[in-house]
Amino acid sequence: MRLPPTPADNGVPPRQYVLMKLLLVPFAAAVCLGAALAADPAWIPFAPPVLQPGSESFTDLRHLNERFAGEHGVIAMKDARFVRSADGQTIRFWAVNGPPSAITDPAGLRNVARTLARHGVNLVRIHTPVFDKKGDIDTERIGRLRETVSAMKQEGIYTLFSIYFPLWLDPPADTPWLKGYDGRSHAFASLFFNPDFQARYREWWSALLNSRDANGLRLAEDPVVMGLEVQNEDSLFFWTFNEKNLPGPQLELFESQFATWLVTRHGSLDKALATWGSSPLPRDRPADRRMAFRPLWNIANERTPRDRDTARFLLETQTGFYREAIAFLRSSGFRGVITASNWTTADARVLGPLEKLSYLEGDFIDRHGYFAGAVKGENSEWSIRVGHTYADRSALRMEGDKPGVPRSFNHPVMDAEYNGRASMISETTWNRPNRHRGEAPLFYAAYGALQDTDAIVHFALDGADWSVKPNYFMQPWTLMAPTQLGQFPATALLYRRGLVRAGDVLADVRLTRNDLLDLKGTPLPQDAAFDELRLKEVPDGSGPVLPGQRLDPLIHFAGRTRVRLDAEVSGVDLQPLQPWINRSSQTVRSTTGELLLDYRQGILEVRAPAAQGVSGNLAARGPVDLPDFRIRSGLDPITILVVALDDQPLARSSRMLLQVMTEEQPTDWATETLSDGQKRITSLGRDPWQFNAPQGTVECLRPDAGSLRVTALDLNGVRKQPLGDARSIGLKSDVVYYLLER
* pLDDT tens-place string over residues 394-418: 999 999 988 888 999 999 999 999 9
Neighbours of 586 (CB within 10 A): 17
Task: Give the span between the Cα atoms of 179 and 182, in whole angstroms.
Answer: 9
Q: Which DSSP string corresponds to 663-700?
A: -EEEET-EEEE-TTS-EEEEE--EEEEEEEPP--EEEE
The overall average pLDDT reported for the chain is 92
Q: How far is CA 246 from the centre of its chain?
A: 28
User: In the chain, how many domains are there?
Assistant: 2
pLDDT at position 38 is 39
Q: Is residue 14 part of a domain?
A: yes
Please state, in angstroms and rounded to a whole number, the distance separating the CA atoms of residues 20 and 5.
9
- Phi, psi at 136, each rounded to 5°: -85, 140
pLDDT level of residue 470 (50, 70, 90 thresholds): confident
Q: pLDDT of 513-559, one tens digit each?
A: 999 999 999 999 988 767 665 566 677 776 777 777 899 999 999 99
Per the DSSP assignment, residues forming a β-bridge with 659 are 641, 737
Distance CA 618, CA 434 (A): 18
Residue 31 has pLDDT above 90, yes or no: no
The arithmetic mean of pLDDT across residues 432-460, rounded, is: 98
Count other C-beta atoms under 10 Å from residue 304's C-beta. Answer: 15
Contact (Cβ atoms closer than 8 angstroms) between residue 657 and residue 645: yes
Among the three residues 582, 599, 629, which one is the final residue of a domain in this structure?
A: 582
pLDDT at 532: 66
For residues 535 and 636, state if they share a domain. no
- Contact of 181 with 247, CB cutoff 8 Å: yes
In terms of pLDDT, which residue wins out, 96 or 9? 96
Q: What is the layout of strands, in order, in the sheet containing 737-741?
A: 581-582, 587-589, 595-598, 603-608, 611-616, 638-644, 655-661, 737-741, 709-713, 719-725
Bridging pattern class, strands 417-418 and 686-692: unpaired
For residue 404, what pLDDT is reported?
Answer: 86
Q: Which of 582, 600, 634 corresponds to the end of one domain? A: 582
Identify the domain boundary among 582, 597, 623: 582
pLDDT band at 133 (very low <50, low <70, confident <90, very high): confident
The DSSP bridge partners found for residue 560 are 505
Closest listed residue to residue 76, CA positions, set 67, 65, 86: 86
* 1 shares its domain with 38: yes
Tens of pLDDT, residues 183-220: 999 999 999 999 999 999 999 999 999 999 999 999 99
For residue 549, what pLDDT is reported? 84
Helices 195-209 and 305-331 cross at an angle (nearest 10°) of 30
Range from 168-182, 465-479, 725-739 carrying the lowest mean pLDDT: 465-479
Share of the chain above pLDDT 70, in %: 93
Contact 229, 341 (CB under 8 A): yes
pLDDT category, 34, cuts 50, 70, 90?
very low
Do 558 and 681 belong to one domain?
no
- Say how far apart CA 336 and CA 225 lie, in whole Å: 7
255 occurs within a structural domain: no
- pLDDT at residue 16, rounded to an integer: 36
459 and 429 Cβ atoms separated by less than 8 Å: yes
The answer to which of 6-20, 61-75, 137-151, 374-388 has the lowest mean pLDDT is: 6-20
Span 35-45, mean pLDDT?
Answer: 66
Indicate whether 730 pLDDT > 80: yes
**What per-residue confidence (pLDDT) applies to 479?**
96
Mean pLDDT of 374-378: 92
| DSSP-derived pairing of the beta strands 638-644 and 624-625 | unpaired
Res 35 pLDDT > 60: no
Residues 6+ apart with CB under 8 A from 652: none
Q: Maximum CA pair distance of the chain?
A: 88
Taking only the tens place, the pLDDT of each residue in 225-279 is 999 999 999 999 999 999 999 999 999 999 999 999 999 999 999 999 999 998 9
Q: What is the pLDDT of residue 471?
A: 82
For residue 212, the cross-strand partners are 218
Give the pLDDT score at 577: 96
CA distances from 376 to 299, 373, 380, 468, 497 (A): 31, 9, 6, 21, 40
Question: Is 627 in contact with 610 (CB distance < 8 Å)?
Answer: no
Alpha helices in 606-659 (DSSP H): 618-621
Predicted local confidence at residue 32, as pLDDT: 35
Is residue 630 domain-resident? yes
525, 555 Cβ separation under 8 angstroms:
no
The amino acid present at 267, given as its one-letter code, is G
Q: Give me the mean pLDDT over the 662-678 stretch.
A: 95
Note whether 496 and 509 are same-domain residues.
no
Q: Is residue 356 part of a domain?
A: no
Residue 17: predicted pLDDT? 35
pLDDT digits (tens, 9 = 90+) for 711-729: 999 999 999 999 999 999 9
For the chain, what percent of residues have pLDDT higher than 90? 86
Q: Indicate whether 494 and 528 sit together in one domain.
A: no
User: Which residues contact residue 374 at a Cβ distance below 8 angstroms, ignoring those fewer than 6 apart?
Assistant: 389, 390, 391, 401, 402, 678
The end-to-end CA distance of the chain, in Å, is 56
What pLDDT score was predicted for residue 305? Answer: 98
Tell whether 495 is covered by a domain. Answer: yes
**Is the domain of 617 the same as that of 684?**
yes
CB contact burial 439-453 (16+ within 10 A = b; e otherwise) = bbbbbbbbbbbbbbb
301 in Cβ contact with 347 (< 8 Å): yes
DSSP 28-71: PPPPPGGG---SSTTEEEE-PPPPPTT--BTT--GGGS-SSTTT
The predicted pLDDT at position 102 comes to 85
Contact 437, 563 (CB under 8 A): no
Average confidence (pLDDT) over 93-101? 95
* pLDDT value at 8 more than 70: no
Query: Do both 432 and 573 map to the same domain?
Result: no
526 shares a domain with 404: no
Residues 649 and 631 in one domain: yes
The whole model's pTM is what? 0.93
Determine the pLDDT at residue 13.
Answer: 37
Q: Is residue 732 part of a domain?
A: yes
Query: Which of 590, 598, 594, 593 lies closest to 615, judged by CA?
Result: 598
- Identify whether residues 678 and 633 lie together within a single domain: yes
Q: Could you write out the DSSP letters of every residue in 283-305? A: T-BGGGTB-----HHHHHHH--H
For residue range 487-523, what is the model confidence (pLDDT) as tens digits?
A: 999 999 999 999 999 999 999 999 999 999 999 999 9
Are 9 and 104 members of one domain?
yes
Q: Within a domain: residue 148?
A: no
708 and 635 housed in the same domain: yes
Determine the structural domain holding residue 514 and report its residue range.
Answer: 505-582
257 part of a folded domain: no
